[in-house]
Amino acid sequence: MNQSIFKAYDIRGIYPTDIDEDLAYKIAQAYCKLFQPKKIALGKDVRLSGPSLFSAMVKGFTNHGVDVVDVGTITTDMLYFVSSAYDFDGGISITASHNPREYNGMKLMKRAGRPVSGETGIQEIKDIVLSNYSFKADIQGTVSQKNIQAEYLAKCLSLVDAKNIKPMKVVVNGMFGPVIQNIKKLNLPLKLVELNSVPDGSFPKGSPDPLLPENRTETIEVIKKSEVAFGGAWDGDGDRFFLFDENGRFIPGYFLTAFLGKYFAQKKSGTKIIYDPRLTWATEDAVRQAEGEPLVNRVGHSFIKERMRAEDAVFAGENSGHFYFKDFYYADNGLLPFLLILEIISKSGERVSELFNPYFEKYFIIDETNFNLGSQDKIDNTIKKIEEYYKDGKIEKIDGVSVEYDSWRANIRSSNTQPLLRLNIEAKTKDLLEKKFKEISALIKD
């Protein structure tokens, strides 16, 4: 067994070499031994290996005496909904998120929608699987079906002022995942220009990840020729949202975090907003201007959710396109940012470009840049080297190393999901940004 599939936030690997039906069965059995559930919600994304892995997990649960509720093909935020809003002992979605088509995996939840992370159960599940644990109950569990789409959509709509959303035309790119099927059932006065809207687990245009620059091109081109209010794109499991203005300009998740952080902070003084340390200035400035309290936290959905609950934070955003809401069970939701932009521009009458121009004019950033250094030791040594090189700056170690000066800052961290070193930089001017990018890149490659 390839033990590296048991990751910081989920289980993920190539099908069928890393993850197959036998392993899916064993993971279900291990989940039962660890958490002792009586009833579990089980769903899947659109990947072609999903149905057979699903059947294997069903067998693993029912053989252990656990009742399975089949919630069908879902977005990952529908898993968060069903495992939080209903009386389940946990939930699992068979998904590999935005990874290429040959991957599959599982996102696991405990009771009340609490995520199972590497630190809260995934490593224990790995150990149980390695022990060849197997159990067959005298009384088998049952299998039933439940369609949760209508209730999930009603919950999302209840969190915005849906009745005041005005008629408008928008581009929506589903990246062949299930999300457009949800948008079409919202009963909002929208004219949709649909891209890649029919679910297709072969992902014919490559990895279902709208953050990749090559995957933005189609959305941008269609917006430019369609005269729309804005565009939205979602990853393969629908839990990350990406915004494009009416001119086709991509709005970084960083700026959307700052914008929505300010939106929620304005509602009540002292509101806590959580953000990640990759890029920070825009969010800190926007939230403080609105008399909110910005709180930085390490990257990763399980870490963000735990901190949100501890701080009673109203909203959190990650630069990767994950947006979290207290009113959605402290979970991330890919549909709510889309609905909030619809509501905000309906009420303000402003164009999306006008809302975000101030961020582009003040904060200069690079796209997150990845360096494949070959080994974790080399990654760790490189991070130490950069910390030493910039030791006269302000150093933070919340996630990797952040170095900060008056006119620029950078974050260098190891990926939680791949053997990569990730670099983010922001600066007060474009020239300084380019200079520091060259400087730090040279240090990394040296």
Distance CA 432, CA 367 (A): 15
| Residue 321 phi, psi (nearest 5) | 100, 10
What region does 121 belong to: left with phi over 0, alpha with psi -120 to 50, or beta?
left
Short-list 10, 177, 148, CA closest to 69: 148
If one counts every other C-beta atom within 10 angstroms of the C-beta of residue 70, the result is: 15
Short-list 179, 42, 29, CA closest to 108: 42
- Contact status, residue 94 vs residue 65, Cβ threshold 8 Å: no
Beta strands 67-73 and 39-44 are parallel
Distance CA 394, CA 396 (A): 7
| Residue 328 phi, psi (nearest 5) | -110, 50
Cα→Cα distances 55→43, 95, 143, 211, Å: 11, 14, 11, 32
Cα→Cα distances 52→20, 57, 66, Å: 9, 9, 19
97 is catalytic: yes
The catalytic residue among 93, 97, 207, 302 is 97
Beta strands 421-427 and 364-365 are antiparallel
- Contact status, residue 85 vs residue 148, Cβ threshold 8 Å: no
Q: Is 438 helix (H, G, I), strand (E, B) or coil?
A: helix
- Active-site residues, by number, are 97
